[in-house]
Amino acid sequence: MRGGPHAPSLPADWAEAVETWSHALSTERGLAPRTVDAYRRDVTHLLSFLARHWGEGGGLARLGGITVQDMRAWMAHARSSGLSSRTLARAISASRAFFGWLEARHGVEATPVLAARAPRYRRSLPRPVPAEDVAGLIDSTRAGDGRRPRWVDLRDAAVLTLLYGCGLRISEALTLRRHDAPLPETLRIRGKGGRERLVPVLPVAREAVEAYLAACPWPLEAEGPLFVGLRGGALSPRLVQKRVAELRAALGLPPTATPHALRHSFATHLLAASGDLRAVQELLGHASLSTTQGYTAVEEVRLMEIYRKARKNLERRTASRQRNAVGTHPARGGTAP
């Protein structure tokens, strides 16, 4: 979210407060740099609007005079600028966090901001890849097509196996070090926001990594990356995404079959097998259970599809039996047995 080329610069103490708060998000709460940048942009958008809307300074104390009407005016401005409900909801969340910090740190009245209601929006459901298609992706990667060195095929198969078998994000798989292998029974993964989690490692994932290492021609340093590119440098996520896109096209899979979708598949298939939402939350490293609950909606959709198909089959069989009964009933012109 941007204030635009003509957005006024913030008063110096407002800008300083935003930077101090952003630093606290990074150091105290451990939020990822991209998340901190997004929050900073969101809050700057609100403050830039207020500076233009009020047309006056007044220091941090002036921010304590924000009203419900001011918040509504900003939200109307944001929507008229083309912001989606989802983006505006995030901006309101960031503004609440900033004004809550101002209240605790500087005694600025924050009630009108904290009371602001975010617009409702429909959360997009995760789109997992069916288990048989995951198997096809990994098997095709391992088999290769002769266009790449054999060790590259084994490397990509190992990465995809970790994404699906351990539920890793692609960034988490590619930050593994050489000293992490042979993979232990449990990996300690540092994910978003610096949150750590323990992830069990399936034998098939361990074996895939060992097969890659046995074929890799590069001497890998203990503190260096586990997965490397053709020239021995750290493997780029873009190359993994490109490889999956090629396989997707070859196998006739939908565009939603991405490396990250393998993590969705891990979560959905595990939830369907165990029903333990809390365990899946811990394995994925989600800060909020509501994020993990999205996978229950996926499972509900799948179950409804199964139900509808079963109902249609039942209706067809019932209709067929009725037609046969009519055709063999003597009173209705049929032939008696």
- Residues known to be catalytic: 169, 192, 260, 263, 286, 295
Q: Measure the CA–CA gap between 214 and 225, rounded to whole angstroms.
A: 15
d(CA 66, CA 154): 59
Tally of CB atoms within 10 A around 218: 13
User: Could you count the other beta carbons within 10 Å of the beta carbon of residue 312?
Assistant: 10
DSSP string, 131-153: HHHHHHHHHHHHH--SSS-HHHH
41 exposure class (CB count in 10 Å sphere: 0-12, 13-18, 19+)? middle
Residues found in the chain: 337
Indicate the helix (H) or strand (E) that contains 303.
helix 294-328
Check if the beta carbon of residue 227 is closer than 8 Å to that of residue 173.
Answer: yes
